A and B are shown apart, each in its own frame.
Chain A
């Protein structure tokens, strides 16, 4: 409540009994800093979230199976494709082929045989050709075939 001054000077506000300004200012100070801190604690994860991670995208339909230098002629390499293993084969002629590596008989992991130039399952002597077709032994179904492309030095395998 300001009382008009009798001597014409500007009204001087009177401070009735209330918590001293220093306490109020202290509370405001604390409030301000902790608000900023909490906002920071909220904004920090958001900004980290938005910045792209090391691996830039989820591997679902295609994956870099290997680099050209890692796969010599007449050899095979197992790679991870989604949740299942795949096998990448480079023939003696240099052609690249990729199929699922899960044997259709009892789900052992198949391998490439450089001597027979076929895909072979060591568990029960199952045989597949390089397109995944089951050509010998117990496997009842072919291996799923994938598409292979090269992008520079990368060998990219994708689902057909």
Chain B
């Protein structure tokens, strides 16, 4: 009786165990089994995080990075250096640790043939890598950005290196003045970036094509772009402006003076939506920082600003009158649509100023002005039509009231005749 019951119990337990091992679908890993049960969160974290790790999803386990024997049941047996156990890598060794696999093209192509295998090499060209070589362990290594044990794919929105998380990841170190002490770089980049147009696009509009830290600085080879190559970096997206800048007289002048292209006027991190106020030669503009009254640049700046102001004023006038006509009830949707040509020209003109050539700007502004004037004339026409209708109404009301009163008189006349006939 007891034997039968205990036999059943053992069978049941075996079945449950089998079920769980089958359900987990994984090879046995004593590392995870033990570490998950440990009380110290620093020791249990790796085991707990590993479920979400992409290496785990690809069938890899602790021993694939750390060595050791996952089938062993004791700590000593599992962590036996003779079984290849490497332990926790030192900070200086981390790039090589990960590079063991990630720099091996033959190995990586088994998992993802399109992944690059030069991250480790690129890393050592970065500021992080160069400093690491000097023994500075505060710098970022693979795990600083990608995290460790719970590494998600870069296309996973929860990954620390997903586009909308990159800035937060970098700011973990770079935004802390304390941490950056002695390294001679500012720590306000993150704050500045968050105010920028790019951050608004990325975070508010969810536009993943908007740049974050790595798009300008690179990720594995992270380095601030050189002064003469900033335009190339910005030009990856802002191609037209970069193109124009590089053929403009500013390129040579900036390079000679050691001024950062693009960022001298637009700043690097706190890139705000540019306003026309930056252009020109009055107070508050940027051009007067270098140009003095009388020099060619000063004249060009003044002219370009006035060209743009003229177009803005014209568009404003036309839009006002068209709005007025619309409020008065006139149908002006077509002229309003055609004003797009003028507002488009304004957008283009603001790009063309990067050429520093008033002739180029004029090529765009002139047709824009023409379109705006057309819109204005349409507005004038609409208001004139409204006046015509009101005058027409007044005239026809006169006729109508006249006719109505005549009919009334006729009625009176007929009725007085009827009364007399009766």
- Any chain A CB within 8 A of the CB of B20? no
B351, A122: Cβ atoms under 8 Å? yes
Q: Indicate if the CB atoms of B237 and A124 lie closer than 8 Å.
A: yes
Binds A, one of B122-130, B142-150, B399-407: B399-407
B106 at the interface (CB under 8 A from A): no
Given A18-B417, A27-B409, A80-B337, the answer on whether A41 and B396 have CB atoms closer than 8 Å is yes
**B:200-249 near A, CB below 8 Å:** 207, 209-210, 236-240
A16 CB-CB contact with B under 8 Å: yes
Q: A31-B406, A37-B399, A85-B340 are in contact. Are A125 and B238 (CB under 8 A)?
A: yes
- B residues 370-422 near A (Cβ < 8 Å) are 396, 399-400, 402-403, 406-407, 409-410, 413, 416-417, 420
The complex places the Cα of A85 from the Cα of B209 at a distance, in Å, of 24
A residues less than 8 Å from B277 (CB atoms): none
A37 to B236, CA, bound (A): 72
With A38-B399, A125-B237 as contacts: A138 and B207 at CB distance below 8 Å: yes
Let me know if A67 is at the binding interface, CB within 8 A: no
Minimal Cβ-Cβ distance residue in B for A138 = B209
> Contacts A18-B417, A138-B209, A138-B237 given: A27-B338 contact, CB under 8 Å?
no
Against B, the Cβ 8 Å flags (1 = close, 0 = not) of A129-142 are: 00000000110100
B422 to chain A, nearest CB (A): 11
User: For A41, what are the chain B residues with a Cβ–Cβ distance below 8 Å?
Assistant: 396, 399
CB-CB under 8 A for A38 and B237, given A83-B333, A109-B344: no
Contact indicator A137/B209 (Cβ below 8 Å) = yes
On chain B, the residues within 8 Å of A77 by CB distance are none
* Residues A16 and B420 in contact in the complex (CB < 8 Å), given A34-B402, A85-B340, A105-B209: yes
The residues of B that contact A108 with a CB separation of less than 8 Å are 344, 347
Most chain B CB atoms below 10 A, which of A28, A37, A80, A125: A125
Contact between B406 and A137 (Cβ–Cβ < 8 Å)? no
* Residue of A with least CB distance to B406: A31
Q: Does A24 contact B (CB under 8 A)?
A: yes
CA distance A41 to B402 in the complex (A): 13
Interfacial residues of chain A within 2-26, with CB under 8 A of chain B in the complex: 16, 18-19, 24
Q: A137-B209, A138-B209 are in contact. Are A18 and B420 (CB under 8 A)?
A: yes
Q: Is the CB of B236 within 8 A of A125?
A: yes
| Residues of A that sit less than 8 Å from B by CB | 16, 18-19, 24, 27-28, 30-31, 34-35, 37-38, 41, 80, 83, 85, 105, 108-109, 122-125, 137-138, 140
Residues of B in contact with A (beta carbons under 8 Å apart):
207, 209-210, 236-240, 333, 337-338, 340, 344, 347-348, 351, 396, 399-400, 402-403, 406-407, 409-410, 413, 416-417, 420
